[in-house]
Amino acid sequence: MRPRLTTWIGVLALAAAAPWPVVQGFAFAQTGDVIADAEMPTLTGGTHHLFSNATANVFIFFRAGQEHSQATLREFAKLEKETRSNSVHWVAIFSDRCPTNDIAKDVAAAGITMPVLVDRGDALYGRLGVALCPVVGITDKDHKLLSYQPFTKVNYTDVVRARLRYALKEIDAAELERVLHPPAATTPSGDASAAHRRLKLAERLFQAKNYEKALENVKTSIEKDPTLAAAHVLLARVLFAQGKREEAKAALQRALELDPKDTQAADDLKALSAPQ
Amino acid sequence: MKTPIIVTIILSGSLSLFAADKPLAPLPAGTKAVSIHAPFEADPNDCKQCHEKSDPKEPGKVKKAINALCVECHDDFQKVMKRKHVHGAAEDKCTNCHNPHNASQPKLLTQELVALCVSCHDDQKTQMTKMKVVHGALTTGKKCVGCHNPHASDVKPILIQLAGDLCISCHATDTITDAGGKPLTNFKKLLDANSEQHAPVATKDCSACHKAHASQNFRLLAKEYPPQFYSTYATNLYALCYECHDPKLAADPETTTLTQFRNGSKNLHYVHVNKSERGRTCRACHEVHAAKQAHIIRDGVPYGSAGWILKVNYTKTPTGGSCAKTCHGEQVYARGPATKVQGKPATEKPPAEKANAPKTN
């Protein structure tokens, strides 16, 4: 899917607003670099390739007995299942400095099914310059490093999932950006929100034919947000129900000033203006 | 994807689902209400807005499932509740926290905010009372809801924003002090002035190193970290750093893979840090949050009791670097031939020099 211009403008605006640096990559492999494949021994015997020609290659460096690594493997076991129908090649990598038995326990506890590769003599660790653990790299089918993601305590799986979906072209740059830098989770508040709620209450009171209380509440709604056209329409209905025809017409006129496309207001006003 | 309710409960620690039933009847006559629900305020004798019957003495059941009834007016909450991570209590019933009639607390809360939260999250109550260091945000300002959205969020665990954004929303002044009155860092100022940032800072993950509620360690650190310039080396003293960095970083005297800070294969982290007496702690050379120099090398080191700062003047080279005469005479280190990513476009220069964007460590 080709992102629209507005999407790119949004992304650029977000990027410009962010004072935080972008995490670039491993010490010796930056995003954009092509990383050479390697055939490596596996935990269970035999060998397996670091990369394949899948659309996305995900490789995870982890350590034995490390809290963050264990948490990451547990979460990624689910992510691995989620992406089973996608063209994704997963591997987990550990240094041969880690006791194999401990690694096997962590792998079994996490429930990952991906091949677990042994980095003998820290050859890959040193070649890429891995400084942190756990850390995840994602490459494309040509083994170009698309993203590098060190562990974060908050939203790690969400971020890696989004980076992977972006690599698979399932989401666009704007959606990735929303996951990397989620908007503040605000709670509806303020006068506009209160006006809307009062209007809803006034509608219920009007339906219950409690015109006096409906009038009181729709007026409160208008006080909170005088530009809420729907509140003026309800005000007109309450006033009309109370026999105040002229005041009702004025309320409808105000509603139409605020929202000339409000067909209900227009119809009501037409009905009220017709000769009796 | 929403976090299922059971996951939220597990993440929340020892959460009793959903603790005791909260009082939902109107406050007794004569009790001053701080907040009143609009339908109840409109006509306290007409219960039929929400209940089956009008009679306040016998209103009967509510007309619908509670949350379905609430969103008939509070329909803007439908969007809120579609966020990825939903507070289990809110997903279950709005009335787990709100009295639908009136309340002696703001926002129709059934209890004072913190008391309400810890009535389920009792593990947090334990932390607040038992730990040595407690975050001031728990007891000041908006308290729990200063950091958490009590309904739903896209950031675990229902944080209003990523930790970095959230923390800096308060820690951007020179006036916040610790319990001993010592001023805490103004992070806006610090980060604006220092482009080289520690990876957890760059990824806005303050909680990688700090506990948000309470800790046994100074500065709410999640694990042990030496507070001094010098320390005897022991792996457990650096537990915080080794949550992400490899303990072998300072354990092996020789390496060609574990660190870039080596002269040939001589591990210079080991040389500086791993001593039985007066080992240099991480802070001797690195800032923990951000610095102007590569690898978050600090600008200078303190010298003497007069508060002098001697400049480090670290210079990064393609295969190593050097420090000016400070702690010792000028020293140069070189790892060996420039490291390349095997079999591909060469990274002739170190990444930080190749990329214009700031580098993280």
Return the sign of the alpha-carbon dihedral for residues B356, B358, B360, B361. Answer: positive
Residue B303 banded pLDDT, cuts 50, 70, 90: confident
- A245-254 pLDDT, tens digit per residue, is 999 999 999 9
Chosen for mutation from A49, A125, A127, A153 (greatest number of chain B CBs closer than 10 Å) is: A153
**Closest to A125 in 3D by CA, of A142, A137, A115:** A137
What ipTM does the predicted assembly reach? 0.81
Q: What residues contact residue A137 under an 8 Å CB cut-off, 6+ apart?
A: A25, A26, A29, A35, A58, A59, A128, A145, A147, A148, A149
Yes or no, beta carbons of B357 and A22 under 8 Å apart: yes
As a whole number, the mean pLDDT across chain B is 86
Contact residues on chain A for B341, CB-CB shorter than 8 A: 28-29, 33-36, 127-128
Amino acid identity, position B106: P
pLDDT for residue B352: 32
**Closest to A92 in 3D by CA, of A101, A142, A104:** A104
Residue B12 has pLDDT above 70, yes or no: no
Residue B15 has pLDDT above 80, yes or no: no
Q: Which residue of A has its CA nearest to B150?
A: A187
Residue A101 banded pLDDT, cuts 50, 70, 90: very high
Task: List the 46-105 stretch of A: residues with Cβ below 8 A of B.
Answer: 63, 66-68, 97
Residue A264 has pLDDT above 80, yes or no: yes
| C-alpha distance from B307 to closest chain A C-alpha (Å) | 31
Residue A91 banded pLDDT, cuts 50, 70, 90: very high
Long-range own/partner contacts, residues B63-71 (CB < 8 A, 24 or more apart): B66/B93, B66/B94, B66/B95, B67/B91, B67/B93, B67/B94, B70/B94, B70/B100
Q: Which residue of B has its CA nearest to A134?
A: B244
- The two tokens of residue B183 are 């001023």
Phi/psi for B319 (5° steps) reads: -120, 10
Residue A12 has pLDDT above 90, yes or no: no
pLDDT for residue A10: 44
Yes or no, beta carbons of B156 and A155 under 8 Å apart: yes
| C-alpha distance from B120 to closest chain A C-alpha (Å) | 21
Please indicate if any CB of chain A lies within 8 Å of the CB of B160. yes
Contact residues on chain A for B201, CB-CB shorter than 8 A: 20
Q: Tell me what percent of the residues of chain A surpass a pLDDT of 70.
A: 91
| Residues forming beta bridges with residue A29, ordered by sequence position | A26
Angle between helices A156-167 and A67-82 (to 10 degrees): 40
Yes or no, beta carbons of A201 and B49 under 8 Å apart: yes
What are the residue ranges spanned by the domains of chain B?
35-110, 122-220, 230-334
- B317-347 pLDDT, tens digit per residue, is 989 999 988 888 889 999 985 444 333 333 3
Q: Is A210 helix (H, G, I), strand (E, B) or coil?
A: coil
Yes or no, beta carbons of B203 and A35 under 8 Å apart: no
Indicate the pairing of strand B102-103 with strand B35-36. antiparallel
Please indicate if any CB of chain B lies within 8 Å of the CB of A224. no
Yes or no, beta carbons of A182 and B162 under 8 Å apart: yes
Phi/psi for A272 (5° steps) reads: -70, -30
- Exposed e or buried b per residue across A191-203, where buried means at least 16 C-beta atoms within 10 angstroms of its C-beta: eebbbbbbbbbbb
pLDDT for residue A261: 93
pLDDT for residue B23: 64
Yes or no, beta carbons of A154 and B159 under 8 Å apart: yes
- Across the interface, of A29, A151, A155, the residue whose CB is closest to B155 is A155
Please indicate if any CB of chain B lies within 8 Å of the CB of A148. no
Residue A8 has pLDDT above 80, yes or no: no
- The two tokens of residue A265 are 């207001």
Angle between helices B66-73 and A190-207 (to 10 degrees): 110
Distance CA(A31)–CA(A146), nearest Å, equals 5
Quick one: average pLDDT of A236-248? 96
Yes or no, beta carbons of B350 and A27 under 8 Å apart: yes
**Closest to B63 in 3D by CA, of B82, B75, B80, B47:** B47
- Across the interface, of B83, B246, B344, the residue whose CB is closest to A35 is B344
Task: List the 13-42 stretch of B: residues with Cβ below 8 A of A.
Answer: 38-39, 42
3-state SS, one letter per residue, for chain B: CCCCHHHHHHHCCCECCCCCCCCCCCCCCCCCCCEECHHHHHCCCCHHHCECCCCCCCCCCECCCHHHHHHHHCCCHHHHCCCCEECHHHHHCHHHCECCCEECCHHHECCCHHHHHHHHEHHHHHHHHHCCEECHHHCCCCCHHHHECCCEECECCCECCCHHHHHHHHCCCCCCECCCCCECCCHHHHHHHCCEECHHHHCCCHHHCECCCEECCHHHECCCCCCCCEECCCHHHHCCHHHCCCHHHHCCCECCCCCCCEECCEEHHHHHHCCCCCEECHHHHECCCEECCHHHECCEEEECCCCEEEECCCEEECCEEEECCCCCCCEEEECCCCCCCCCCCCCCCCHHHHCCCCCEC
Q: What residues contact residue B154 under an 8 Å CB cut-off, 6+ apart?
A: A158, A178, A179, A182, A183, A185, B83, B84, B85
Distance CA(B284)–CA(B261), nearest Å, equals 15
